[in-house]
Amino acid sequence: MTAYDLELGLHRRDVDSYTLELRYTPPEGDVDIRLVRRGLSPLSLDIQQLRSQAADPGAYGRLLTQGLFADEEMRAAFAKARTAAQSAGEPLRLRLFVGPSGPELHGLRWETLRDPEEDTHLLLGEHVLFSRYLSSLDWGPVRVRSKADLRALVVIANPANLGRYRPGGRPLAALDVEAELARARSGLGAIAVTALASGGRATLNNLVDHLRGTAGNGHYDVLYLVCHGALIDGEPNLWLEDGAGDAAVVAGSELVARLSEMREKPRLVVLASCQSAGKGDASCSGDEGVLAALGPRLAEAGVAAVLAMQGNITLRTAAEFMPVLFRELERDGQIDRAVAVARGAVRHYADWWMPVLFMRLKSGRLWYTPGFGEERTLEKWPDLLRNIQRGRCTPILGPGLSEALVGSRREIAQNWADTYQFPMAPHDREDLPQVAQYLAVNQSEIFVRDELGEYLQGEILRRYGDHLPEEVRGGSLDDLVRAAGAWQRAQDPAEPHQVLAGLAFPILITTEPSSLLDDALTAAGKEPQVEICRWNEYVERLPSIYDDEPGYRPTAQRPLVYHLFGRISEPDSLVLTEDHYFDYLIGLTSNKDLVPFTVRRALADSALLFLGFRMDDWNFRVLFRSIMSQEGRRRRRGYAHVAVQIDPEEGRILEPERARRYLESYFQDADISIYWGSAEDFVRELQQRVRGVGHEQSPTARSE
């Protein structure tokens, strides 16, 4: 879905007024358009008068609309943006950015805004998608996932001694845990649910352990939290549990701090107002506004989207709102669109405006549906499958295939940048070649290679140590990789290395420094022959299969595994720093014989399958251009090639939809079809299609 973007920025001007800034971005625009040309215009909001209309959402919305659209130029600017979106048949994405100077503006009921021309609800339905947009102190991107893998953690805190607490003057009521859990499961729909509910399970540590994956359940995309809360001296407090099931009053700042420390945070946090048992319109006492007060803090800590309740939402409204929200969210992953539709579904209730969306996303997308562009399918699947079957396909594997084992290259770079005080620009802190270059200069090249080995060893132990034999945990890095890879393959029949090892590839090219591919081929009963690109004088002295068998021809049973950027077991072969990459590419360009003839021919005369790369990375671009510049370009055009690329990430690419179209155009001349999704998504579909055509391995590669 394409959207026209209008961002409203509100900042305090003086004691009695605020300033308003508008930025408008059409889908095909190259730059933001400042619609209020004279810059910041004065805006007066009578907050006391708004509070006097709190009991009447309609009157409140009219008063708020009059204040926001009091300026004629503001009304004209909004009308222009909305008309442009309507003419294109697309929604207008309206983002409200409240600056640090005006935190009191978060307390206003912006969701009640009316149409300034027609005096109807503005933010119900799919024409105007509204969110309270927040920047984040977290420099990391928002990583999207396939909706097929979505998982939710539902936490319902019902301490045994709630009645002792009276934050609003009345004792806190016990929750109907089973009813709350049933509502959560119903609302989440097809999303897999893990529940932590009462009896000492809904503790802060247990919640955090599950979200971090240390409880053995992997990572979660959605955190759905139901508990009592209260604002005490301006600080949100939550009534969670301790290990014995009694109350543990947790400051909201502590929850925010624990989530901000996580490398992989939930994409969506739902802060559901607790509901007491009894009448259908009953609600909790004492938690007025606490969850909405916590929402901005979680978003600023790096959570992609936070849905909170700005008040005590009733049972019936929550019970009808949540199922619609997640049903719509499942359609396309667009959280702001899902909230708008769900809000419209409960408009007949007085508290319809209470669900509030805080977001640090510009696209509104939390997850994606994998596939090939808009069509989502590849017309050339039969051709690709036949090329695989007959040994005419060469996979080229990127570092993304090992991320589940050791994390991403960007995570390694960020860790080193933090540890060794990388002094360059913030956006360079996740560029591994650049950070590694800094370490090589600041320390030494040997230090960089040693540091990589220690980092990988620590990550494997942290992620998989509990699943590995004790004797392996104290062994070498190679032993750890081999054991962890075997555990991964045993747990997931569609593990990418395992699936690829079962297919008829005579030659496999990898930029991964690990032995995961070699080990998977051996486990599949094959005899892989490992070669390393001899890009420097140290690697030239390593033994080669061609020394013992000059006439060696790769086959599906004895495939050649060619490591382009070195192996961990041979530290001098690793391509890590910027200088390494330049030396590597210069050497490869000036001396084509560095690459064995069989590999060069495969690159020129077979279908190429790129897996585990992010195609917007500079490293991939250089690799791609070096392949395309080799001889055999005319022959290469006779094949259909496939590249697997996860959807562009929020926080890294400013306009994901335009970036997608750009990359598709960039690779169009090379006849490369781009699969938008993860390598795991693609490999699962490949495995299913191979089984569907009765794939049989080709015993040998084509003759040379």
> How far, in Å, CA of 43 to CA of 21, rounded?
10
Phi-psi region of 612 (alpha: psi -120 to 50; beta: other; left: phi over 0): left
Q: Which of 360, 345, 442, 366 is nearest to 151 (CA)?
A: 366
Segments of the chain scoring below 50 in pLDDT? 30-31, 37-40, 137-139, 275-288, 290, 650-651, 654, 656, 694-704
> Can you give the pLDDT at residue 549?
92
176 belongs to a structural domain: yes
**Enclosing domain of residue 54:** 4-133
Same domain, 279 and 186: yes
> How far, in Å, CA of 636 to CA of 670, rounded?
9
The separation between the first and the last C-alpha atoms of the chain, rounded to the nearest angstrom, is: 48
Mean pLDDT for the chain overall: 81
Q: Which two tokens stand for residue 147?
A: 């909706």
Same domain, 180 and 285: yes
CB 348 within 8 A of CB 317: no
> How far, in Å, CA of 446 to CA of 579, rounded?
14
pLDDT tens column, 19-66: 888 888 776 554 456 655 444 456 677 888 888 998 899 999 999 999
> Can you give the pLDDT at residue 208?
92
> How far, in Å, CA of 326 to CA of 188, rounded?
6
426 belongs to a structural domain: no
Write out the E strands in 440-593.
507-510, 529-532, 560-563
Q: Which of 409, 410, 435, 440 is nearest to 423 (CA)?
A: 435
Query: How many domains does the chain fold into?
Result: 3
Same domain, 514 and 566: yes
pLDDT tens column, 195-240: 998 778 899 999 999 988 765 566 788 999 988 887 777 778 889 9
Cα–Cα distance list, 509 to 222, 299, 328, 506, 531 (Å)? 37, 41, 41, 10, 10
pLDDT tens column, 294-346: 888 888 788 889 998 887 788 788 888 988 998 888 888 889 999 999 999 99
Q: Which residue has the tokens 């929020």?
A: 650
CB 674 within 8 A of CB 373: yes
Q: CA dihedral in degrees (267, 229, 245, 152; nearest 10)?
A: -20
Half-sphere exposure of 429 (CA within 13 A, CB side): 18
Same domain, 388 and 359: no
> How far, in Å, CA of 663 to CA of 521, rounded?
32
CB 532 within 8 A of CB 567: yes
> Can you give the pLDDT at residue 684?
85
Q: How many CB atoms within 10 Å of residue 258?
A: 17
Q: Which residue has the tokens 């009694």?
A: 246
> How far, in Å, CA of 500 to CA of 518, rounded?
11
Question: Within its chain, how far is the Cα of 510 from the centroid?
Answer: 24
Same domain, 353 and 399: no
- pTM of this prediction? 0.72
Of 368, 396, 418, the one marking the end of a domain is 368
Q: CA dihedral in degrees (295, 299, 301, 302; nearest 10)?
A: 150
CB 103 within 8 A of CB 109: no
Q: Is 161 helix (H, G, I), strand (E, B) or coil?
A: coil
703 belongs to a structural domain: no
The residues pairing with 630 across neighbouring beta strands, listed in sequence order, are none
Q: Which two tokens stand for residue 239?
A: 């009534």
Same domain, 89 and 182: no
Same domain, 150 and 129: no
Same domain, 107 and 172: no
242: domain CATH number?
3.40.50
Q: Is 703 helix (H, G, I), strand (E, B) or coil?
A: coil
CB 607 within 8 A of CB 387: yes
> How far, in Å, CA of 517 to CA of 523, rounded?
10
520 belongs to a structural domain: yes
> Can you give the pLDDT at residue 287?
40
Of 108, 133, 158, the one marking the end of a domain is 133
Cα–Cα distance list, 449 to 384, 562, 571 (Å)? 38, 20, 6
Q: Which of 703, 646, 673 is nearest to 143 (CA)?
A: 646
375 belongs to a structural domain: no
Q: β-strands 222-232, 367-368: how paired?
A: unpaired
Phi, psi values for residue 419, rounded to 5°: -70, -40
247 belongs to a structural domain: yes
Q: How many CB atoms within 10 Å of residue 637?
A: 12
Same domain, 161 and 37: no
Q: Which of 222, 1, 4 is nearest to 95 (CA)?
A: 4
Of 368, 396, 429, the one marking the end of a domain is 368
Same domain, 233 and 255: yes
The residue type found at 385 is L
DSSP string, 433-457: HHHHHHHHHHS-HHHHHHHHHHHHH
Same domain, 512 and 619: yes
> How far, in Å, CA of 317 to CA of 331, rounded?
22
CB 318 within 8 A of CB 273: yes
CB 146 within 8 A of CB 367: yes
Angle between helices 432-442 and 578-590 (to 10 degrees): 110
Environment class of residue 284 by beta-carbon count within 10 Å: exposed (0-12), middle (13-18) or buried (19+)?
Answer: buried
Same domain, 58 and 119: yes
428 belongs to a structural domain: no
